[in-house]
Structure 1
Amino acid sequence: MSHALIADLGGTNARFAIVPINQYQPQEVHVFSCKNFDTFFDAANAYLGKCSVELEFIDAVVLAIAGPVNREVIRFTNNSWAFTKEEIQAHFGADKAVALLNDYDALGHCLEILPKDDLVTIGEQEAIDLSAPSWVLGPGTGLGVACVVPQDGVANLVLPGEGGHVDISTNSDQEDFILQFLRERHTRVSAERVLSGMGIENIYEALCAREKIGKRLTAPEIGEAFLSGSDPIAKETMSQFFTFLGRVVGNLVLAVESRGGVYITGGIIPRYLDAFKESGFRKAMQEKGRMTGYVSPIPTFVVMSEYPGLMGCANYASYLVSE
């Protein structure tokens, strides 16, 4: 049986898996700490040493990388790993189909094969047009954004970009205060400055400053305080975080009418799913004045899959091999 070696590579961790071609659930997943290996190839060899499928039965290698992949040399921010596509090809063999994807390209390629059980609808269920574009975005360490355009018979087109770094907009006195607070520090405030783990910390610090409280917490500490109900500023922080996310999603929908849906990934939203369902996310998304009727029918979902990036790699591998 033909298989693909797939991996989701970040600066801190590398997730490896194997999957039969034309199947999409990652098998034999192993997560390695990048700091324990001098090179990517050392980590890949360690995985293959554990894997039940021998290299001769692997026909495709697809890597999702947290960073730009359109450079001659791929380098990582938080570790010393570096390689070229040619080195990947040479390491695994000239007979292998090889692809390097940006991590949000991989997430874009997972949308068409995600099980419905892995999706939680936010707001009322609206009709999905499978032939129409979709957005996938996810606040986590940063804010990743990708636009996915369906194609017939070939891999979907995932449009490149850095949507997480667009300007953030405001629509209340509190949001104005937060942006002014952050503008004094950063001059320009991008969406990622409020929609990421760092963003949660920024919002919390700004709201404390508004109350004349000199206090800072980490994102996990804010999340714990929010879930326990022990800190009203933590509660307001997460409420504002969800609202900012709605504003950005609404702006994306205005830019591209994504009747295929908006899919929210990343590690933050699933952790606070119940609160997110009850939040002002959809209201903020739809608050677009004369264009409210244009934005409101667009469905939004939270992706609950454990390894959506690996699933996207598996899907892309099936197209690679068929070519």
Structure 2
Amino acid sequence: MSAAYPWLVADVGGTNARFGTVSGPGAAVEDVRVLSVAGHAGPAAAVRAYVAGKPAGSPAPRSAAFALATAITEDRIELTNGAWNFSRAQTQVELGLQTLLCINDFEAQALSLPRLAPAQLRPWGEPAPAADRVAVGTVMAVVGPGTGLGVGGVVRAPGLWLTLPGEGGHATLAPADDFESAVLSHARHEFPHVSAERFLSGIGLPVLCRAVAAVMGQGEDVAALPTEQIVARGLSGESPACSRTLDLFCAMLGGFCGNVALTLGCRGGLFIGGGIVPRLGERFFQSEFRRRFEAKGRFDAFLAGIPTALITDTLAALSGAALALEQTDA
């Protein structure tokens, strides 16, 4: 059965929930608004707040796709880094929806890749090929440092795009030199398993900064600094530990993204999403990211042929959620 219009699409992270509306077939996502996750008891309450803010007489959504920052395995859904814990079936009934599709947020982010326009991207070097020109079997991947660290992939199949969902942000992080080994060793005093998310995310930057400051051994107190201040002090240069943290963040992100690219063979490109990297501006494009992305020994040349780009549109995942509904409809 076709998903009835209008559609409600949502991209829900640990901090913010972005909502938008698709009015009909082929229509763009419109009327986008951002609501606080902590400010609402659950998705039903957030949807009601979103709908209440629309012009009087606007039709209620009849179908919805929620992209959620957690693994989706059963009816009960709990955000990994957020307060929402809810039943998909109960929420569908409560909102009176014909269809409610719940997918991992990086399934939606991955599904946005085929529809990204050049204006939504900033490539590092040569741009990725246009999605409509890549061969069947071509893989693209996205890695997104936001509140947490998301990883997803998408492969072109005849007539549609298939997602490769997973929880790659929780894979073990590997060091590339003695300093990084010392930083990881220090972090293991706090956490027995240092995943990529423990360093390469909004919740991870304070952990990384504390470890960097300890290994640098200059007595700088960064224990109470939140992510926003670490970024600000690092970019301004007022804090040696914060500045080194940003450099290490970019380098280790490059190494991690190279691992993802090798694992998935994503010749269609590796894309950076999430809200952290855009805050770094030119610092990111002057960093060790791309060198470390390619630094894979005998496979340097393989990685050199894979384009990388920053997604500059923070709302891109909404179009991916819409494509998920569209393909479910097909």
TM-score, normalized by length of structure 1? Answer: 0.89
- Cα distance between partner residues in 2 of 1:64 and 1:127: 26
Out of 248, 272, 291, the residue aligned to residue 256 of structure 2 is 248
1:164 to 151, 154, 169: 169
Structure 2 vs 1, CA of residues 43 and 168 (structure 1 numbering), >3 Å: closer, same or farther? closer
Contact 2:14 2:147 in 1 (8 A): no
1:270 to 278, 283, 296: 278
Residue 157 to residue 141, structure 1, CA distance change in 2 (3 Å): same
Matches of 2:81 and 2:258 in 1, distance apart?
33
Q: Is the 8 A contact 1:264 1:301 kept in 2?
A: yes
Find the counterpart in structure 1 of residue 134 from structure 2. 130
Query: Which consecutive residues of structure 1, in runs of 5 or more, have no partner in the other structure?
Result: none
Post-superposition offset of 1:9: 2.6
Match for residue 20 of structure 2? 17
Deviations 1:32-79 (A, max 9, x none): 234444443233223223334302xx4531111121222221234676
- Distance of aligned partners of 1:29 and 1:262 in 2 relative to their CA distance in 1, 3 Å threshold: same
**Alignment partner of 1:84 out of 72, 83, 87:** 87
* Residue ranges of structure 2 left out of the alignment (5+ in a row): none
Q: Is 1:145–1:162's contact at 8 Å kept on the other side of the alignment? A: yes
Indicate if the aligned counterparts of 2:257 and 2:293 stay in contact, CA closer than 8 A.
yes
Aligned pair partner of 2:299 in 273, 278, 291: 291
Deviates more, 1:293-302 or 1:218-227: 218-227
Q: Kindly tell me: are residues 114 and 226 of structure 1, through their superposed partners in 2, closer, same or farther at Cα, counting changes over 3 Å?
A: same
Q: CA deviation at 1:163?
A: 0.6
**CA contact under 8 A between 2:62 and 2:96: conserved in structure 1?**
no
Q: Does 1:60 align with 2:63?
A: yes
Name the stretch that deviates more: 33-42 or 97-106.
33-42
1:309 corresponds to: 317
Pairing 1:210-249 to 2, within 5 Å after superposition: 210-212=215-217, 213-216=219-222, 217-249=225-257
The one-letter amino acid paired with 2:106 is Y
Q: Confirm or deny: 8 A CA contact 1:19 1:25 kept in the other structure.
A: yes
- CA distance in 2 between partners of 1:286 and 1:247 (Å): 8
User: Is this contact kept in 1: 2:128–2:268, CA < 8 A?
Assistant: no
Q: Distance in 2 between matches of 1:199 and 1:17?
A: 29
What do the CA deviations read for 1:228-271 (whole angstroms, capped 9, x no partner)?
12223222211111000111111112212101100100111111
TM-score (norm 2): 0.88
Separation in structure 2 between the aligned mates of residue 11 and residue 180 of structure 1, nearest angstrom: 27
Q: Distance in 2 between matches of 1:182 and 1:315?
A: 39
- Percent of residue pairs bearing the same amino acid type: 33
3-state DSSP class of the match of 2:19?
strand
Is 1:142 aligned to 2:148, yes or no?
A: yes
- 1:72-129 CA-partner distances (Å, limit 9, x unpaired): 21234676644333224333446x3331111111111111111111111113446567
Alpha-carbon RMSD: 2.3
Secondary structure of 2:188's aligned partner: helix
Aligned residues: 318
1:249–1:69 CA distance, 2 compared to 1 (3 A): same
